[in-house]
């Protein structure tokens, strides 16, 4: 399960490269991605070949990426104008092309990202043909991309796979689909910043907006072990208690909190809740478990704050993006999460992939236990554990009500 975080998702590419090198032959039959994590999911699911080749191509794609490949770098005046432009003066979206829609809606035009992904994924008419081939060869069982339906408010998981039943939960549904670049674009569409994407008759945006159970899609698709790669640094209690700003919080600080609520906080809470449920299930005899089962979960997270690291590279941003981030007060907070999401710069991306590679290497033993099916005990590294609680395995129980 690959979570979101904009440019910070390059961290996941480094993790996957180490895994492919250290554990040759490892394969992930179920892949799920949210927001920018959907880009990595699409790359791995669409590559016809072993994981080491897919991971290498994924890193190459990130290395080839620059700000201009994600969105049109507009002037500061154009950005300000897009904020103030009266929506009623815009033509109806139904009468214009997708490229025109991306220019009319959202703060930034993401047409370059559509073309970049289409090229890197070798998408014929936008379709990810490699997913079908991997399903046919048995290398893949299911790939899922998670979006938010702006029309209905539902979280929609688009799944291309075999032998699974669609599910429906409060505000969460799944749909059989042939995955396309548009599904990936929709999942990565940051609220307000990037334009929504039309799929069918509805408009879709970032998959993390209302997703309360990010681990659930993988379980619905039959996973009994989940490797969740997050881009969110787990702060210590002392770090969490230290204020990020002095005085009234700037807009960038508030937006950063909203971004973390979308990309990170739900995963931590979901894992914690599932951990508790799993512990309770272990207390029940099998005939009373009502179809529930244990799910082994290993979370990998960065050893450094990727957002704070962004400060070192902010001067490399185009002037218009610096105008946008500084105008919202990004320089006034010590936790520039908002800026880091848009920091699609080669130097920053290389740094994140290197961190991901070495962080995965540092957790080699946990990964080895995970791939061998041996339960791992990583909760002691997590700030959510109470000091007076015994250390328990990070085993997440997700039952049929998931």
Report, as residue numbers or ranges, the catalytic residues: 35, 206
Give the number of other Cβ atoms within 10 Å of residue 68's Cβ: 12
List Cβ neighbours of 117 (8 Å cut-off, separation of 6 or more). Answer: 39, 42, 123, 181, 184, 185
List Cβ neighbours of 105 (8 Å cut-off, separation of 6 or more). Answer: 90, 93, 195, 196
For residues 107 and 192, is the Cβ–Cβ distance under 8 A?
A: yes
Buried b (16+ CB within 10 A) or exposed e, 159-175: bbbeebeebeeeebebe
Q: Can you say whether the dihedral through the CA atoms of 335, 353, 298, 33 is positive or negative?
A: positive
Helix and strand numbers, DSSP H then E, in the chain? 17, 10
Report the candidate in 277, 235, 238 with the shortest Cα–Cα distance to residue 260: 235
Q: Which residues pair with 295 in a beta bridge?
A: 396
């Amino acid at each position: 399960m690959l979570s979101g975080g904009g440019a910070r998702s390059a961290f996941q590419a480094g993790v996957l490269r180490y895994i492919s090198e250290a554990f040759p032959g490892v394969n992930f039959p179920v892949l799920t991605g949210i927001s920018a994590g959907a880009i990595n999911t699409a790359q791995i699911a669409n590559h016809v070949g072993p994981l080491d080749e897919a991971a290498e191509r994924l890193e190459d794609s990130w290395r080839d990426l620059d700000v201009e490949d994600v969105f049109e770098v507009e002037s500061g005046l154009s950005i300000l104008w897009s904020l103030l432009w009266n929506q009623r003066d815009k033509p109806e979206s139904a009468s214009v092309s997708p490229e025109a829609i991306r220019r009319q809606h959202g703060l930034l035009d993401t047409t370059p990202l559509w073309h970049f992904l289409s090229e890197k994924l070798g998408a014929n008419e936008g379709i990810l043909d490699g997913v079908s081939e991997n399903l046919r060869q048995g290398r893949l069982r299911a790939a899922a991309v998670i979006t938010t339906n702006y029309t209905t408010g539902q979280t929609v998981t688009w799944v291309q796979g075999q032998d699974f039943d669609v599910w429906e939960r409060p505000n969460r549904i799944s749909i059989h689909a042939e995955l396309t670049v548009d599904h990936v674009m929709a999942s990565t569409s940051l609220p307000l910043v990037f334009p929504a994407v039309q799929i069918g008759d509805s408009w879709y945006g970032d998959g993390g907006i209302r997703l309360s159970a990010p681990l659930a899609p993988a379980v619905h698709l039959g996973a009994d072990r989940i490797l969740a790669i997050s881009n969110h640094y787990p702060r210590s209690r002392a770090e969490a208690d230290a204020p990020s700003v002095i005085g009234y919080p700037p807009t960038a600080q508030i937006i950063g909190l909203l971004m973390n609520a979308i990309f990170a906080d739900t995963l931590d809470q979901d894992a914690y809740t599932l951990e508790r449920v799993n512990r309770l299930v272990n207390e029940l005899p099998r005939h009373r478990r009502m179809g529930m089962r244990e799910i082994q979960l290993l979370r990998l997270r960065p050893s450094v704050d990727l957002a704070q690291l962004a400060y070192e590279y902010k001067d490399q941003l185009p002037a218009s993006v610096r105008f946008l981030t500084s105008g919202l007060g990004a320089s006034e907070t010590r936790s520039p999460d908002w800026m880091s999401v848009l920091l699609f710069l080669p130097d920053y991306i290389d740094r994140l992939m290197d961190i991901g590679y070495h962080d995965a290497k540092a957790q080699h033993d946990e990964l080895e236990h995970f791939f061998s099916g041996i339960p791992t005990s990583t909760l002691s590294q997590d700030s959510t554990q109470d000091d007076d609680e015994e250390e328990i395995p990070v085993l997440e129980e997700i039952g049929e009500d998931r």
